C-alpha cells in the first residue's frame, strides 16, 4: 500500500470515529478529504451518507456508493429505507394538503352562509 493509501485509511478511521461520536461536521470534512483524493472511495461515500444533513444528500451519496459497488447491501437497504420514508412523508403532505383545502372550502361556505343569513338573504 502506498503513502496515499495509508493516508486514506487513516482519514477513514478518524472520520468513522468522528461520525460514531456524533461529530458529523468533522466527519464530513474528513470524508470529503478522502473523496478529494479518491472520488470513488466506497467507504467514504457510504459514510458521507450517514453524516449528510439532508435526505437528498444522503440519497445522493448512497446512489454514488451503489454506482461504485452495486452489491453493497447496506447502502441498498439504507437507500430503500430513505425512499420509503420519503414516500410516506410525501403521502402525508398530500393528505394534509387535501384536508386543508376541504377545510378552507367548508369555512368559505360557512362564511358565505353567515353573511347571507345576517344580510337577510336567506
Determine the Cα–Cα distance for residues 82 and 59; give it in Å rounded to an integer: 7
Does residue 109 sit within a domain? no
Going by C-alpha positions, the residue among 13, 58, 62, 67 that lies closest to residue 40 is 67
Residue 82: inside a domain: yes
Query: What is the domain count for the chain?
Result: 1
Asked whether residue 116 is assigned to any structural domain, the reply reads no
* pLDDT tens string 35-62: 999 999 999 999 999 999 999 999 999 9
| Per-residue pLDDT reduced to its tens digit, 64-75 | 999 999 999 999
108 part of a folded domain: no
Does residue 103 fall inside a structural domain? Answer: no
CA separation for the pair 117, 74 (Å, rounded): 64
Statement: residue 1 has pLDDT above 60: no
Q: Give residue 15's domain range.
A: 3-95
| 30 in any annotated domain | yes
Using CA atoms, how far residue 17 sits from 20, 65, 71, 119, in Å, is 5, 20, 25, 72
Does residue 32 lie in a domain region? yes
Look at residue 113 and tell me if it is in a domain.
no
The model carries a pTM of 0.69
Report the CATH number that the domain containing residue 53 is assigned in CATH: 1.25.40.10
pLDDT confidence tier of residue 122, bands split at 50, 70 and 90: low
Amino acid at each position: 500500500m502506498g503513502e496515499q493509501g495509508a493516508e486514506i485509511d487513516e482519514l477513514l478511521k478518524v472520520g468513522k470515529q468522528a461520525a460514531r461520536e456524533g461529530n458529523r461536521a468533522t466527519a464530513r470534512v474528513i470524508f470529503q478529504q478522502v473523496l478529494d483524493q479518491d472520488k470513488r472511495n466506497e467507504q467514504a461515500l457510504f459514510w458521507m451518507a450517514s453524516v449528510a444533513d439532508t435526505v437528498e444528500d444522503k440519497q445522493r451519496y448512497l446512489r454514488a456508493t451503489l454506482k461504485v459497488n452495486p452489491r453493497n447491501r447496506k447502502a441498498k437497504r439504507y437507500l430503500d429505507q430513505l425512499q420509503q420514508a420519503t414516500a410516506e412523508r410525501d403521502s402525508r403532505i398530500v393528505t394534509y394538503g387535501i384536508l386543508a383545502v376541504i377545510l378552507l372550502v367548508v369555512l368559505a361556505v360557512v362564511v358565505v352562509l353567515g353573511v347571507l343569513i345576517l344580510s337577510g338573504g336567506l
